[in-house]
């Protein structure tokens, strides 16, 4: 450990503490993601070429590019503060991305710049992980069953489509973000960004098929603001 490392670690701790202790007087942005129009029908995935995966899904799974819920809600939408919050150092926890039953779990994985990304293969077959990064370095690695997890990290913020070259139906997204204020909408489309100091923020919602929407939000101390995003769905 050099002096520089000690300094950086101390600085990181300081920032982390200051973020988490923003408790009293900090605000929250929450809300719901919905769509209007007719979204494409999810298509069932035929995994017959990979029997060890196919038998894990008694009823075939469907495509996950658009996942809808009751009340026109949209799941798997990344909501994050794109402007107004400072960049933050990564947490010490790792973001886990699993391959199970020839499916990515989770389908959308949000994590921070510099955060450890841990990719594991729970299947009996080889997988290939090919994040199609444009700003970051693109890589393409296979992971046979029984090999150790792939550990990596990203240096720049980017929405990265991820695919498995061996199983073409496996697609997912890495959302690499600059700060810890993010949320991936749940099955009912809800999201929550807590612990925000008072200020003016730009909130962005990203859906892998429909793209981005943004809103500016001003919150005062202790306030909880509710906002909503409505994406336009297309049948095809």
Partner 1 sequence: MEETSVQPTHVHAPPQGFLWKHVFSLDHKVIGKQYYALALVAVFTGMFLSWLMRFHLVWPNTPIPGLQFLSKVGAPGGLITPEYYLSLLTMHGTLMVFFVLTNAPFAAFGNYFLPIQIGAEDMAFPRFNMMSFWTTFLAFLVLMLAFFIPDGPPISGWTAYAPLSAVGGDAGPGLAWGQNLWAISIAIFCAGSLLGALNFIATTIDLRAKGMTFMRMPICTWAWFITSCIALLAFAVLLPACILLILDRTAGTSFFIPSGLVVSDHLQPHSGGSPLLWQHLFWFFGHPEVYIAILPAAGIVSHILINSMRKPLLSAKVIIYSMMSIGFLSYMVWGHHMFLSGMNPASGLAFSFPTLTITIPATIITLIWIGSLYGANLRMDSASLFALGFISMFVTGGVSGFFLAQPSLDIYLHGTYFVVGHFHMVMGVAALFGVFAATYFWFGKMTGHMMNETLGKVHFWLTFIGTYCIFMPFHYLGLVGNIRRYSSFVNDFMGPLMPLHKFITIAALCTGAAQFIFLFNLVYSRFKGPKAPDNPWQGTTLEWTVPSPPPWNNFGDTHPIVYHDPYQYGVKGSKGDFIMQDSPEQATGGVAG
Partner 2 sequence: MGKFFAVVLVIIALVSAYPIVTHKYAPPVDISTHGHAIDEQLADTMAEAGLAFLGAQLLLAFFIWKFSGRKEGEKVSAIPSGAKIMVAAAFIFVGTEVLALGVFGQKAWASVYFTAPAADALQVQAQAGQFAFYFRYPGPDGKFGPLHPDKIDEGNANFFGLDPANDVESRDDVVAAEMAIPVNKEIHMLMHAKDVGHSFFIRELRIQQDFVPGLDLSLHFTATKIGKYEIVCTQLCGLGHYNMKAYLNVLSQEDFDKWMKEKIAEQ
Binding site for partner 2 (CB under 8 A): 40, 43-50, 63-65, 125-126, 128, 142, 161, 163, 165-169, 171, 208-209, 234-236
Longest Cα–Cα distance of the chain, Å, equals 58
Q: Which does 112 bind (CB under 5 to 8 A by kind): partner 2, partner 1, none?
A: none
Kindly state the smallest distance separating residue 208's Cβ from partner 2, in Å. 8
Q: Which does 229 bind (CB under 5 to 8 A by kind): partner 1, partner 2, none?
A: none
Q: Which does 144 bind (CB under 5 to 8 A by kind): partner 2, partner 1, none?
A: partner 1
CA–CA distance, 136 with 140 (Å, rounded to integer): 13
Kindly state the smallest distance separating residue 29's Cβ from partner 2, in Å. 29
Closer of 93 and 147 to partner 1 (Cβ) = 147
Binding residues for partner 1 (CB under 8 A): 125-126, 128, 130, 132, 138, 140-148, 150, 161, 163, 165-166
**What are residue 217's DSSP bridge partners?**
201
Query: What are the start-end ranges of the E strands in the chain?
Result: 27-37, 67-69, 73-75, 78-83, 95-100, 103-105, 108-112, 117-121, 127-131, 141-143, 150-152, 158-163, 171-177, 182-184, 190-196, 199-207, 211-219, 224-233
Look up residue 169 and give its DSSP letter.
T
């Amino acid at each position: 450990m050099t002096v520089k490392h000690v300094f950086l670690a101390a600085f990181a701790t300081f920032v982390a503490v200051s973020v988490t202790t923003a408790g009293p007087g900090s605000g929250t942005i929450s809300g719901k993601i919905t769509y209007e129009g007719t979204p494409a029908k999810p298509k069932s995935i035929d995994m017959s070429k990979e029997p060890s995966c196919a038998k894990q899904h008694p009823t075939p799974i469907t495509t996950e590019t658009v996942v809808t819920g009751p009340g026109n809600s949209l799941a798997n939408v990344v909501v994050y503060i794109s402007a107004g919050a400072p960049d933050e150092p990564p947490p010490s926890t790792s973001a886990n991305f699993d391959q199970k039953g020839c499916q990515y779990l989770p389908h959308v994985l949000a994590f921070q710049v510099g955060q450890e990304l841990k990719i594991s293969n729970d299947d009996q077959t080889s997988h290939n992980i090919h994040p199609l990064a444009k700003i970051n370095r693109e890589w393409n690695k296979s992971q046979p069953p029984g090999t150790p997890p792939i550990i990596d990290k990203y240096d720049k913020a980017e929405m990265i489509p991820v695919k498995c070259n061996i199983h073409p139906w496996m697609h997912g997204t890495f959302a690499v973000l600059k700060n810890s204020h993010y949320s991936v909408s749940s099955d009912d489309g809800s999201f929550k960004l807590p612990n925000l100091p008072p200020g003016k923020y730009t909130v962005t919602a990203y859906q892998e098929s429909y793209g981005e929407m943004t809103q500016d939000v001003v919150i005062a101390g202790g306030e909880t603001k509710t906002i909503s995003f409505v994406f336009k769905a297309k049948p095809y």
